[in-house]
Structure 1
Amino acid sequence: MMPRTSLVLLVGLAVAVTGCHSSKAPATQENQAVHASSPLRLYVTNEVSGDLTVIDGGSYDVIATVPLGKRPRGIHPSPDGKTLYIALSGSPIAGPDVDESTLPPPDKNADGIGVFDVAQNKLVRIIKGGSDPENFDVSKDGKQLYISNEDVSAVSVLDIASGSVVKELKIGAQPEGVKISPDGKFVYVTSEETSEIAVLDPVAGKITATFKVGHRPRSVAFMPDGKHAYINAENDGTVVVVDVARRKVAKAIQLGQPGLVKPMAVLLSADASKLYVSTGRGGKVFTIDTATDTVLNSVAVGKRPWGIALSPDGKTLYSSNGPSNDVAVVDLATNTVTKKVKAGTGPWGVVALLR
């Protein structure tokens, strides 16, 4: 088990609503002395401290720290940018070599999807998300979530309005990354342990194919035309380019020595001319030219960068760095880190959102 659109480049008091999770959503804690100076906000999930750090995108002051629940990881906005969804899990944190039999039992009551209202700056409810949800994607119409359920090797389909899981499908072991194709006709789900992609047909409600990629895939980025996808291969030190029609790896882009450079998240620029890749223990974010599939440069951002996001204008990249408990701000024009912002404990995911 691994720890980990409005212009979005890259979630209070609980209310009782139909479909809510049985546990209550914790209250928001504001930093009253800080005043916002920009319409841009950064939202950072902190896996260890169980909260959300809200950062002003102009001053880089921390505006609020919002308790969420256990192990917040994946974070994604609704299509209109008014809501953030956050994966929560009661399964204990463990590295890849940990004997899971030595861990405490999971708290299944803590599993769910947090619903965060951007305007109110508060967590308004927690809904079901299957067992041990780690990451997910939001359907094009904003009505469903497709969720990776790590501990049961499954992908769940969640109806947001009813707050219920309408379908659960078994796939390869340790699923994590979930990405809907540009045309919305299928969903890729990565399985770390079995090094494969499951292809989910949302209309048919079934897995229509599986295929192998590099070792320990975690993240997917589709080119806008949907013909190719970039998928990390953590244990190979590569990013693979997938021919979507053939469901086959077309090439592998080597970033560094396997084991030293461990590609994690992949993220395309708005014009899809560049692919950004965080590298975990490698401590860097790499930039790849998608026209030639060659590495342009890299920048050291901090300890174990995981989730990454881009500013709406595409000029700045944000990297959540788990062990150092901060977010790095990268000026992409100069490829330099211009700021480090303290977050909670164990930053995992980050979203940049214009209010």
Structure 2
Amino acid sequence: MRPTETARALILAVAFSVLASLAACGSATHEHGDQVHGTRAGHVPPAPPQRAKKKAVPGLPGMPPVLDPQDVYAADRPNRLSPVVKDFPSRIYVPNTESDTVSVIDPKTYEVVDTIRVGRQPQHVVPSWDMKTLWVNNNRGHTLTPIDPRTGKAGRSVDVHDPYNLYFTPNGKYAVVMASLDRELAFRDPHTMKLLKTVPVSCYGVNHADFSLDGRYFIVSCEFSGELLKVDTAQMKVVAQQRLPFRGAMPQDVKISPDGKRFYVADMMADGMWVLDGDTFARPELLPTGKGAHGLYVSRDSREMYVSNRGEGTVSVFDFTQNRLTKKWHLPQGGSPDMGGVSADGKILWLSGRYNSEVYAIDTRTGVQLARIKVGSGPHGLAVYPQPGRYSLGHTGIFR
């Protein structure tokens, strides 16, 4: 670790300790990467200059405050595991949509060590807000299957209609089921999954989302109608809606920038990601990345974001500070990189190979493929677990 990073880590560690004390008092992973724009593959740009600290913005009531107002991912540094998950075995949980199973991979050996039978068409494996449970979204089976990440054993499934994807509000008050075919956002109890409120939507295929820095709203992608929604978290209400300016747009994964100023939305038909100001919700701009852009994953140092291009077997690397793409990694023999996550130490990007019945492990420093592992049919939203962070916002692992 370089001196500046050490100092920053120390500052964040102290901040984490103080916040934890206050809370206790108050309650309760191809070949070598290409060169792009003259940047050498695997090169990490210099740390950005120190910025003046911005005054903290009041967040969603009950939401743990962000550790750094300039970096919403400040709690996700390498191996900074919460006491809740630090003793969980490191595993990769892969939902196989056409096999109705979850393949469990040991990241140390790159071998499948278990296969868990779940409901019909499992789409994503989602960490709960409190990080104690992994929920398997059985879309066509209309159930959620809980997995205990400590033992790797599945529990009794819960009846939930059309659970394509699952998120949790930043204050942990609600689970939000993305009911894609039902055209609903279903707000449920985060523990029992009892339905509390249904929010009908006029777009088709609600599927992915991310929350603003203050947690007061979230942006939702609507895959089949090419639209975006802005939803007020506390009011559980759609407050804005727009159609993307590309005919046949199919928006997928959504991620917020470290500073909270922009949202990025992968689009598998526009072959890139839309850059959106979430506050103003103005017309977004398209940044081409590659054919079939699908998943978005932020590096452990908050400097880069990995974009899986499912239609061409590549991963594009976007630099937040330079505001541009700097690298593109190619999987040997091609592939269909889809959804996944970053290892706890930040060294490996794990992605499912949706149409190849396999999983890819990619070195985040060089872009080299480390492993290609056969799993069930139609692997989709795999979860790397555990990961750093204090709480989960859902999907395959959005931690803050």
CA distance in 2, matches of 1:85, 1:78: 7
Q: TM-score normalized by structure 2?
A: 0.70
Match of 1:252 in 2: 286
Match of 1:208 in 2: 239
Match of 1:231 in 2: 265
1:288 matches 2:321: no
Give 1:218's match in structure 2, choosing from 245, 252, 263. Answer: 252
Give 1:118's match in structure 2, choosing from 142, 149, 153. Answer: 149
CA distance in 2, matches of 1:198, 1:129: 23
- After superposition, the C-alpha distances for 1:17-64 in whole angstroms (9 at most, x for unaligned) are xxxxxxxxxxxxxxxxxxxxx942111111110111111121122121
Which ranges of 4 or more aligned residues in structure 1 deviate by more than 4 Å? 5-9
- For residues 254 and 324 of structure 1, do their structure 2 counterparts lie closer, same or farther at Cα, with a shift above 3 Å needed? same
Which has the larger strand fraction? Answer: 1
CA distance in 1, matches of 2:173, 2:117: 25
Give the fraction of aligned pairs with identical amino acids, expressed as a percent.
Answer: 24
Pick which of 280-289 and 138-147 moved more. Answer: 138-147
CA distance in 2, matches of 1:155, 1:79: 17
Pick which of 284-293 and 313-322 moved more. Answer: 284-293
CA distance in 2, matches of 1:41, 1:237: 31
CA distance in 1, matches of 2:100, 2:255: 27
- For residues 125 and 248 of structure 1, do their structure 2 counterparts lie closer, same or farther at Cα, with a shift above 3 Å needed? farther
- After superposition, the C-alpha distances for 1:244-269 in whole angstroms (9 at most, x for unaligned) are 1110244321124xxxx011111222
Paired residue total: 299
CA distance in 2, matches of 1:333, 1:182: 28
- Unaligned stretches of 5+ residues in structure 1: 10-37, 91-109
Give 1:41's match in structure 2, choosing from 91, 94, 114. Answer: 91
- For residues 189 and 55 of structure 1, do their structure 2 counterparts lie closer, same or farther at Cα, with a shift above 3 Å needed? same
1:160 matches 2:190: yes
Q: CA RMSD in A?
A: 2.2
| Relative contact order, higher structure (CA 8 A, sep 6+) | 2
Give 1:176's match in structure 2, choosing from 202, 207, 221. Answer: 207
SS in 1 for 2:293: coil
CA distance in 1, matches of 2:132, 2:76: 11
Which amino acid in 2 is paired with 1:112? T
- Cα shift at 1:7: 6.4
- Cα shift at 1:78: 2.0
1:57 matches 2:87: no
8 A contact 1:39–1:57 mirrored in 2: no
8 A contact 2:337–2:351 mirrored in 1: yes
1:98-117 → structure 2 map (5 Å cutoff): 110-117=141-148
Q: TM-score normalized by structure 1?
A: 0.78
Match of 1:336 in 2: 368
- Unaligned stretches of 5+ residues in structure 2: 1-72, 79-87, 388-400
8 A contact 1:75–1:350 mirrored in 2: yes
Match of 2:131 in 1: 81
1:303-322 → structure 2 map (5 Å cutoff): 303-322=335-354
SS in 2 for 1:244: coil
CA distance in 1, matches of 2:76, 2:284: 31
CA distance in 1, matches of 2:362, 2:307: 13
8 A contact 2:128–2:190 mirrored in 1: no
